[in-house]
Amino acid sequence: MISLFGWLLVFHILASIAVIGPAFVVPVIRRSARTVGQLRFAFDVTNKLAILPKIGGAVLIITGVWLMIITKMGLSQMWLNISILLSLLMVATIEGLIGPRMKKIMEIVSISQNKGDEVPSELGRLMKKIIPIETVSQLLMIAITVLMILKPF
């Protein structure tokens, strides 16, 4: 029979997949759109996927804290402290930098939908400005994942 620790670890890993998966896939879906219609569809799909990181994030926090309690690890491990710090930085990047820019882009898409199928130049410019921020967010996710798996220090 699997122990409580085993089940918590399984749910913790599944929750991390729910958070990381969409974060890597959503920018690819958005960047593949070539027309306003495709961009609108991409936003509809990505908005539906947005629930996964929210649920996964909550489960990730709950299981992570629970794992820290039952292993009596607390915040004594440097890799864990750095992972938590990078996670907070990642959330701030997504919610503080990417989120507001995406809202503006979605407004432009809504307005542009009635004007034809060509992507306005302003929209393309705004989308290109988000790419480096999304890349930073993805690199933070990779760093967090590596720290969680390898526990280097």
48-53: average pLDDT: 87
Assign 36 a pLDDT band (cuts: 50, 70, 90).
confident
Assign 143 a pLDDT band (cuts: 50, 70, 90).
very high
The percentage of the chain sitting over the pLDDT mark of 70, rounded to a whole number, equals 97
Q: Residue 74: which region, alpha, beta or left (left: phi > 0; alpha: psi -120 to 50)?
A: left
3-state DSSP helix/strand/coil percent for the chain, to nearest 5?
Answer: 85, 0, 15
Per-residue pLDDT tens over the stretch 74-121: 888 999 999 999 999 988 998 899 889 888 888 887 777 666 677 777
H helix intervals, 32-120:
36-49, 51-70, 78-92, 99-112
